[in-house]
Structure 1
Amino acid sequence: MPFDIAPDDIVATHDEAAANERPPLLVLEPLLAFLDEHGLGDGEPQIAPIGDGHSNATYLFERGGARFVLRRPPRPPIPPSANDMLREARVLSGLHGRARVPQVLAVCEDTDVIGAPFYVMEMVEGWVVTSAMPEPLDTPEQRRATAFELIDALVEIHGVDWRAAGLEGFGKPDGYLERQLRRFLGLWDHNKTREIPAVENVGAWLKDNLPDSPAATIVHGDYRLGNVLLAPQSPARIAAVLDWEMSTIGDPLADLGYFCTLYVERDDPRVGKFELSSVTREEGWPTRAELVARYEERSGRSMTDIRWYQTLALWKSIVFMEGNFKRASAGMSDDPYLAAFGDGVVELADRAEALTRGE
C-alpha cells in the first residue's frame, strides 16, 4: 500500500484494525468512503504525518490530485475537555473569511469511521517555525516584521464579531477568568500524581488577585509562534493560524499573556525542553514590551496586569503537563516526550510561584 507511514501503527484496513491490540488512528475503507462522499480526491492516498503528534494527530493527504489535511484526537483515553475536533471545526468554520484560518472541507461526527470524530481542512502552504526561520525571512528586519504580524493576526481574531460568526453558545462571555480557575483547579485534582504545594499556592494567588476582564472575544487558547503558518516568501506574513482545540469565548488578554509567557527574549534564562521556540532570541525580534504596546495600539485594549496573565498561562501549562505525565506513567501513552514531564512540572511550578512574587 502506498503509505508514507507504518500501516500497522497508524493506518490499517478494517480487518487489521479489528486484529490490532492498539487501535490505528486511520481505518482505510470507511475513511476512503467518507472522502469519496465529500469529493475529496479519488483512489489510494499518500499520507504523511504533520507535526510532533504529542496532542492531536494531523496528516497530509495527497489523493487523485487533491491535497488536504485530516485532524483527529490521539488514541484514547483522551483527557477531559480536550481534543474536541468538532469544536475546533466549528470555530474554524466561523472564522473562515474573517481571520487567517484554513477552510474546513468536511466534518465527521461518526466514531465508527476511524474510531473518533475528525475533520478535513484545506492545505495551506507555509512554514511552521520552531528552531529556525525559513531562509527568505531569516533577517533582522523580517524577524521583527514576523513578530508584529503575530500580534496583528491576534488582534484580527479578537476583533471578529463572534455572534456574527455563528459562535453564539460556543463559550460563556462573562466570568471567563473565574471559570478558568475553577476548571484548572478541578483538572489539577484529576491529573495530579503527587502533592506539589507550589501549584496550590499559585492557584490561590491567581484567585486572590483576579483582574477585571475587557469585553469578551474569541480566544485561541494556545496562541504562539509554533501554531501559525508563515507564508513561504518575504515579506513576512501569517498565512494561517492553526491548532484551535483550546478556543472559546472569553478574555482576549489571556491570549496575549500566554503568548508573552512562551515568547523568549535574547537574555531570558534557558528552560531546556520547555522552551518551545528559541528562535526569538536572535537579532531583530522585538521585546515583549514592544509586542504588548503593538497589541494595545492596534486593539484599543490595555494590558492591565501582564504578570497575572502570564502566571495564569504558566499555571495552566503545569496542569496539562501533569496530566500528560500521568498518562505516560500509567502506560496510556508511549510518547517518551510526555514521560519526561515529571521533573519539569515541579520546575515550572517553582517558576510560576516566583512570578507571583515578582521575581
Structure 2
Amino acid sequence: MSSADIVGVDAGAVSRWLETLGVDFAGPLTFDRIGLGQSNLTYLVRDQDGRRWVLRRPPLGRLLASAHDVAREARILTALEGTAVPTPRVLGLTADPAVTDVPLLLMEFVDGQVVDTMPIAQSLTPERRRAIGMSLPRTLAKIHAVDLEATGLTGLASHKPYAQRQLKRWTGQWEKSRTRELPALEDLTRRLVAAVPEQCELTLVHGDFHLRNVITSCDSGEVTAALDWELSTLGDPLADMGSLLAYWPEPGEEETGGDFAASVLDGFPDRAELAQVYLTETDRDPAALKFWHVLGLWKVAVIGEGVMRRAIDEPKNKSATGTPTVERIDALVDNACRIADEAGI
C-alpha cells in the first residue's frame, strides 16, 4: 500500500519516526485501518517480518475542543503500566510537523480477540460469551481501584462532583453537534440534573468502557487490554458501570444496540448479573448505579448524534459498519426514559 492510499497517515514520515524511537522493523511498513473508525482513527502497522504495532490519530475534519486527545490518552496509558489494569504499552507519541499534522500515538500490539461485530460475537460459544461478559465488570473494578497518587494521575482532571461535570459537558456537546431538535432528550437532561446522587469517592474513570473497547483472551475470554482511553477522567466510578449497562441491550432492545446488539446472544450475562458482579467486588451503591445507567444511555445518545454529525461533515470519517441513525438515537432516549421511570428519576 503506498502512502497516497493511506487516509490520515504519511507512511514515509511515520517510518522515519519509528527509526528515531529505536523500533526495530523491516520496511516497508503497511498500514490498515482497524476498529470502528468513528472516533480516533486506528491503524494496524505491519512490517515485512510480520511484527505488528498500533497507531492512533484524531479523526479527520472539524473536531470539538477537548475531544480526541491522543496525547492525553498516551499519558494515561503510560501511568497505568505496572498496575493491575490490562493496557497496551505506549511506544511513542509525536506532534512533530515533519511527521504529522496531528498528534500520533504508537502502541504495542496486544494479541487476542476484539468482539466488535455481530459475526464475531455469533461465532463464539455461549460459554466464551459468558466468560467475556463476566470479565468486563471485574476489569472495571481494577480500573476504579487504581491508586491516583502512585500513578501520578491526581491532576488528570477536576475533582469537582462528576455528575454535574458530565451533564454540563455533554449538554454542551449536544448543543454543538446536534442535527435536530429532540425534546425528549432535553426533558431527560432536566430530570437527570434534578436527580444527581451524592458523590462519595473520586477514582479513575475510563469514560467509554464497553465490549468493543477491550481485547479478550482467545483461551479464557478474560480482558487482556482495555482500549480507547481518550475520554478517561477522574470522577464517580459508577459512571463507568452505568455506561457499560447502557451499551448492553437485552432481548427486545436490539434497536438500541444499532448494528451491534451482541449482548442479546445466548450466554452473555444480563445487566443484573453484570451489576451484581461489580457491586459485589466493590460494595458500591445499587441505587446510585441506576442513575448512572440512565445517564449512560443519555450520553450514548449524545455521542451517537456527534458521530452522525461528523459523518455528515466529513464522509471520510464513516466506517465500514456505518454510523448511528436517528432511529437508533431516538430508541436510546426512549429506553433511558423508561429506565428512569422505573428508577423514580
Structure 2 residue 16 is matched with structure 1 residue 8: no
Match of 1:315 among 288, 292, 298: 298
Residue range with higher mean Cα deviation, 98-107 or 72-81: 72-81
Give the number of aligned pairs.
338
User: In 2 relative to 1, CA 141–338 (structure 1 residues): closer, same or farther, beyond 3 Å?
Assistant: closer
C-alpha displacement at 1:333, in angstroms? 4.8
**What is the match of residue 327 of structure 1?**
310
- CA offsets, 1:209-264, max 9 Å, x none? 0011231111111111111111122x222111111111111111000011011113
Distance in 2, matches of 1:61 and 1:338, equals 23
Residues of 1 paired with 2:278 and 2:230: CA distance?
23
Compared with structure 1, are the counterparts of its residues 187 and 92 closer, same or farther at alpha carbon in structure 2 (3 Å cutoff)?
same
* SS of match in other structure, 1:357: helix
Q: Give the match for residue 60 of structure 1.
A: 44
Q: 1:264 aligns to what?
A: 249
Distance in 1 of aligned mates of 2:314 and 2:86: 38
Match of 1:236 in 2: 221
CA distance in 1: counterparts of 2:238 and 2:135, whole angstroms: 17
Equivalent-residue separation in structure 2 for 1:82 and 1:32 (angstroms): 27
Deviation at 1:106, TM superposition (A): 0.8
Separation in 2, partners of 1:214, 1:9 = 51
Corresponding residue SS for 1:8: helix
Residue number in structure 2 paired with 1:116: 102
| Largest Rg, 1 or 2 | 1
How far the C-alpha of 1:335 sits from its partner, in A, is 2.1
Identity within the alignment, %: 34
Where relative contact order (Cα < 8 A, 6+ residues apart) is larger, the structure is: 2
Q: CA 1:214–1:111 in 2, change beyond 3 Å: closer, same or farther?
A: farther
Q: Secondary structure at the match of 1:71?
A: strand
Whole-angstrom distance in 1 between the partners of 2:198 and 2:259: 30
Change in 2 beyond 3 A, CA 1:281/1:45: same
CA distance in 2, matches of 1:47, 1:345: 33
Q: Residue 26 in 1 paired to residue 9 in 2?
A: yes
Is the counterpart of residue 179 in structure 1 residue 152 in structure 2?
A: no
Say which SS state the counterpart of residue 180 (structure 2) adopts: coil
Q: Deviations over 1:10-65 (max 9, x none)?
A: 2xxxxxxxxxxxxx411133222211000123431122221121211111112364
- The change in CA–CA distance for 1:37 and 1:334 in structure 2 (over 3 A counts) is closer
Contact 1:79 1:323 in 2 (8 A): no
Q: Secondary structure at the match of 1:49?
A: strand
Q: 1:117 to 1:9 in 2, by over 3 A?
A: same
1:106 maps to 2:102? no
**Equivalent residues in 2 for 1:134-153, closer than 5 Å:** 138-153=124-139
Output the amino acid matched with 2:311.
Answer: A
Question: What SS class does the counterpart of residue 4 from structure 2 fall into?
Answer: coil
**1:151-162 matched pairs, under 5 angstroms:** 151-162=137-148
1:119-171 C-alpha deviation (Å, 9 max, x unpaired) = 11111100001325579x93333332222211111111111102211112111
Which AA in structure 1 matches 2:140?
Answer: L
**Does the Cα contact within 8 Å between 1:41 and 1:64 map onto a contact in 2?**
no
Report the AA paired with residue 286 of structure 1: P
Contact 2:88–2:225 under 8 Å retained in 1: yes
Aligned position for 1:344: 328
C-alpha RMSD of matched pairs (Å): 2.4
Mind listing any 5+ residue stretches in structure 1 that lack a counterpart?
A: 11-23
More helix by share: 2
Structure 1 runs, 4 residues or longer, greater than 4 Å off: 132-135, 331-334, 336-340
Q: 1:170 aligned to 2:156?
A: yes
Instruction: Supply the AA of the counterpart residue of 1:80.
Output: A
| Alignment-derived partner of residue 281 in structure 2 | 298
Conserved in 1, the CA contact under 8 Å of 2:245 and 2:293? yes
1 CA distance for matches of 2:103 and 2:213?
22
- Cα 1:322–1:338 change in 2 (3 A) is farther
Task: Give the 3 Å change call, closer, same or farther, for CA 48–339 of structure 1 in structure 2.
Answer: closer
Q: How big is the shift at 1:112?
A: 4.2
In the alignment, what sits opposite 2:20?
A: 37
Matched, 1:356 2:340: yes
Do the aligned partners of 2:255 and 2:331 also contact (CA within 8 Å) in 1? no
Structure 2 length-normalised TM:
0.89
Contact 2:256 2:331 in 1 (8 A): no
Question: SS in structure 2 opposite 1:218?
Answer: strand
| Deviation of the 1:100 alpha carbon | 0.2
Contact 2:60 2:317 survives alignment (8 Å): no
CA distance 1:314–1:275, change in 2 (3 Å):
farther
257, 263, 272: which is aligned to 1:289?
272
TM-score by length of structure 1 reads: 0.86
Counterpart for residue 14 of structure 1: none
Q: Structure 2 regions of 5+ residues with no counterpart?
A: none
Amino acid at match of 2:253: P
Q: Does 1:216 align with 2:202?
A: yes
